[in-house]
Amino acid sequence: MMKRVLGLGIILCLMISVTVWAAGGREAMPTDAYEQWMQDAQVGPYQPDVEDWDAIYEAAKQEGTVVIYSSTSRIFDGVATFEEKYPGITVEAYNISGVEILEKIEREAEAGIRNADVVMTSSVNPLAVELIERQVIFNYVPQDLVPVIPEQFREPLLTHRYGSVIMNYSDVAYADGPPITSIWELTKPEWKDRIVIRDPMRSSGSMNWMASWVVHDDVMAANYEEVFGRPIELTTPNAGYELIKRLLDNGLQLRTGSRDVLDSVTQHEQPGGPPIGQGTSSNFRDVLSGRYQFDILWDLEPFAGYAYENSIPMMAFAPNPNAAKLLITHLVGGLPGEDPIGFEPWHVPGNFPVRRDIETPYPFDPITEYNYIYEGVDIFDVVPDVMDFWLTHM
């Protein structure tokens, strides 16, 4: 079993998130101050039915700056095209992990510090309603985009794109096709020390992925019986937890990010064969660019992976709300009919746009065509327990 020393800061980030999750909302800012901010920013009940984008741009130039916290490094490409499109507005972009973003906006809101205008991450999704009620984040949806974005991707937060947590393998080393058909096969002796994932104490995607097994334990148990020909014998509360434990017992390896995982997966000449690795579907762009050579286990049972939304809310009390409106609109692809250049950094195979007027890039089908577990409140609710289980058994 792999033993790791986790950074105190990472553990504190997650403990803060879980504490907020379990304890319910903290005291919100005074209603009159929030009401005044919404009125001045012309959002919420004060958002006009028809937004004057010329006037918004003029007001944004007076603000001069917009600040975004993003869990994707591609934000800098999106920022470059924004500043070119909107002279007079400077973007301060910070690329930090989703867990750290959640901790940062929590701490800043508690202290009454309003630094950021926009965040882009999936880590706010589990607490979306609470964070909105506590006036930490605010869901702004440009009126012009309502017709091209389905309601499920507009509420409770505007979705920037869909992504998915999936499993990769070396199609060089395993040229005859996928070496496994079920994730349970990775608990067998022949795969010992050859399973690599992103550290779930650093990656909310990894943690939620494992939580999805716990929620769908009946499906996990049924698939176990298909693979081994006998009912599962549990040493843990259910089949989802059992899979986590057995993967750890079989030498599960942890990495800090998807590229670190791919470095291991693509060691094509490794004796005995390279490991199976967990990452995100958007990493497939590295195959098309020639950086890596791997394939995705699209038909893995019982689930091909875990699908998650990347949201892009405005911050409540954003100091630069007009510039924030422009940045959000730009990053989700601009107004209908405009060149969607702001979305281009994410318009790659493995990312799934939610807008009806932006196509899913080749060679992927729409995300609904895959056997994914979709994120939901039921998955988020068990994350604190899965986190405790992980820390106990790793």
54-89 core/surface letters (b: 16 or more CB in 10 A; e: else)? eebbebbeebeebbbbbbbebbeebbebbeebbeeb
Determine the average pLDDT of the residues in 355-362. 89
Percentage of residues in the chain with pLDDT exceeding 70?
92
Q: Is 241 exposed, middle or buried (0-12, 13-18, 19+ CB in 10 A)?
A: buried
Per-residue pLDDT at 201 exceeds 70: yes
How would you list the strands of the sheet with 65-70, edge to edge? Answer: 90-95, 65-70, 118-120, 314-315, 137-138
Confidence of residue 204 (pLDDT cuts 50, 70, 90): confident
Beta carbons of 281 and 370 less than 8 angstroms apart: no
Confidence of residue 364 (pLDDT cuts 50, 70, 90): confident
Q: In angstroms, how far is the first alpha carbon of the chain from the final one?
A: 7
Superfamily (CATH) of domain 164-307+384-393: Periplasmic binding protein-like II (3.40.190.10)
The gap from C-alpha 108 to its chain's centroid, in whole angstroms, comes to 22
Tokens of 325: 């409106």
pLDDT given at position 11: 37
Say yes or no: do domains 10-158+312-360 and 164-307+384-393 share a fold.
Answer: yes
Q: Which numeric CATH code is attached to 10-158+312-360?
A: 3.40.190.10
Q: What dihedral do alpha carbons 170, 176, 180, 182 form, nearest 10°?
A: 120
How far is the C-alpha of 64 from the C-alpha of 313, rounded, in Å?
20
Q: Which helix (H) or strand (E) holds 316?
A: none
Q: Can you say whether the dihedral through the CA atoms of 9, 10, 15, 18 is positive or negative? A: positive
Determine the average pLDDT of the residues in 180-204. 95
Q: CA gyration radius for the chain?
A: 22
The DSSP code sequence of 219-237 is: HHHHHHHHHHSSPPPPSSS
Other beta carbons within 10 Å of 50: 7
Per-residue pLDDT at 110 exceeds 60: yes
Determine the average pLDDT of the residues in 373-385. 87
Per-residue pLDDT at 366 exceeds 90: no
Average per-residue pLDDT in the chain? 90
Per-residue pLDDT at 5 exceeds 80: no
In three-state secondary structure terms, 267 is coil
How far is the C-alpha of 2 from the C-alpha of 193, rounded, in Å?
9
pLDDT tens digits, 211-223: 999 999 999 999 9
At which residue do the structure tokens 């319910």 appear?
24
How far is the C-alpha of 250 from the C-alpha of 240, rounded, in Å?
16
- Cα three-residue angle 60-38-343, rounded to 5 degrees: 50
Contact residues for 1 (Cβ-Cβ < 8 A; gap 6+): 248, 249, 251, 393, 394
Confidence of residue 15 (pLDDT cuts 50, 70, 90): very low
At which residue do the structure tokens 């002796």 appear?
189
Per-residue pLDDT at 26 exceeds 70: no
Per-residue pLDDT at 193 exceeds 80: yes
Give the residue from 204, 143, 131, 182 showing the smallest Cα distance to 386.
Answer: 204
pLDDT tens digits, 222-244: 999 999 999 999 999 999 999 99
Beta carbons of 135 and 109 less than 8 angstroms apart: yes
Q: Sort strands 276-280 and 159-169 into parallel, antiparallel or unpaired.
A: antiparallel
DSSP-H helix ranges across the chain: 8-23, 31-41, 53-63, 75-85, 98-110, 128-133, 204-215, 217-228, 239-249, 258-265, 285-289, 321-331, 377-393
Tokens of 149: 């974005």
Domain boundary assignment for the chain: 10-158+312-360, 164-307+384-393
User: Cis before residue 340, ω within 30 degrees of 0?
Assistant: no
pLDDT tens digits, 118-134: 999 988 988 899 999 99
CA distances from 90 to 52, 323, 327, 368 (A): 21, 9, 11, 37
pLDDT tens digits, 246-284: 999 999 999 998 899 999 999 999 999 999 999 999 899
pLDDT tens digits, 311-329: 999 999 999 999 999 999 9
Higher pLDDT, 360 or 238: 238
How far is the C-alpha of 80 from the C-alpha of 86, rounded, in Å?
10
Other beta carbons within 10 Å of 102: 26
How far is the C-alpha of 347 from the C-alpha of 332, rounded, in Å?
10
Determine the average pLDDT of the residues in 36-58. 98
pLDDT given at position 29: 55
